[in-house]
Amino acid sequence: MTRKELTHQIRDKQSFLCVGLDPDLTRLPRFFLDFEDPVFEFNKRVIDATKDFCVAYKPNVAFYEALGTGGWQALAKTLDYIPETHFTIADAKRGDIGNTSRLYATTFFQTFDFDAVTIAPYMGEDSVAPFLEFKDRWVILLALTSNAGSSDFQFYKNDVGKPLFQHVIERAMTWGDSNNLMFVVGATQGTHLRQIRTIAPDHFLLVPGVGAQGGDLSTVVTEGKNQDIGLLVNASRSIIFAGTEAHDFDHLVSSAAKSLQSEMSILLL
């Protein structure tokens, strides 16, 4: 999906919501366990309930590969079920030497046909470049994450006082451009969003951490929006586990997504 197409979907729906499809078997409502493929059935119901309110879906690959062959099959079926109008992100956090990265890129851009994949930048340009070779596909580079351990490395300052996350963003912007490169910035890092938007004024930001992790949506929009909106805000648990019983699962999941989309619509005015 191109930047123009993604931006059109955001403006048309007045939404920059990305729904994380993280089907943790230990948290799936019990009635799904009666299905032959509970993971796919769960995802299918979530997609049906949320597709009118979001513009993107982000399956975290760990929840699928942990299940072996059946998990990969559920991921493939899920990707096929997502409407073509929606941006798809493989949350895989890959990053390896060049020839291995090329195979990872082939996996997620050809075998599975995702629009984007999350990448860890630690190994540098040659580990990222193979992903950027694919036309109309996106690299979403980890920049400033929302987990507690982000302070271990991401805020480390060099001799001139520049934090590592800033160096990562500035360096990566020489590898790709705003049409194929996004950055992950956790919603709980709201105080740094303005700084990051100054460094990368045109790039899209994927922002996890709104919802169960407690990130503030209003702060994200105020500090992170650009002229094309330039945001994909991900919510997972607060939406996909909103319903626990068969009789109201779809309604509660839909309501959770609609509520967040409505808040987004107001903030975009």
Render pLDDT for 237-249 as a digit per residue (tens, 0 to 9): 999 999 999 999 9
Cα distances from 231 to residues 1, 55, 59, 227, 268, in angstroms, run 15, 11, 18, 10, 11
Active site residues: 93
Rounded CA separation 6/18 (Å): 12
Q: Tokens 């903030």, residue?
A: 267
Rounded CA separation 267/210 (Å): 15
Residue 130 pLDDT:
96
Residues 6 or more apart from 130 whose CB is under 8 A from it? 98, 101, 102, 104, 105
Domain 3-267 top-level CATH class: alpha beta
Residue 156 pLDDT:
62
The answer to whether the CB of 23 falls within 8 A of the CB of 43 is yes
The answer to whether the CB of 172 falls within 8 A of the CB of 129 is no
Rounded CA separation 64/44 (Å): 15
Residue 197 pLDDT:
94
Q: Give the bridge partners for 17, in sequence order.
A: 233
Q: Quick one: angle between helices 125-132 and 98-106, nearest 10?
A: 30
Q: What is the 3-state secondary structure (H, E, C) of the chain?
A: CCHHHHHHHHHHHCCCEEEEECCCCCCCCHHHHHCCCHHHHHHHHHHHHHCCCCCEEEEECHHHHCCCHHHHHHHHHHHHHCCCCCEEEEEEEECCCHHHHHHHHHHHHHHCCCCEEEECCCCCHHHHHHHHCCCCCEEEEEEECCCCCHHHHCCCECCCCCEHHHHHHHHHCCCCCCCCEEEEECHHHHHHHHHHHHHCCCCCEEECCECCCCECHHHHHHHHCECCECEEEEECHHHHCCCCCCCCHHHHHHHHHHHHHHHHHHHCC
To 5 degrees, how large is the angle CA 23–CA 7–CA 232? Answer: 35
Rounded CA separation 119/32 (Å): 32
Low-confidence ranges of the chain (pLDDT < 50): none
Residue 216 pLDDT:
85
Residue 212 pLDDT:
58
Rounded CA separation 191/81 (Å): 37
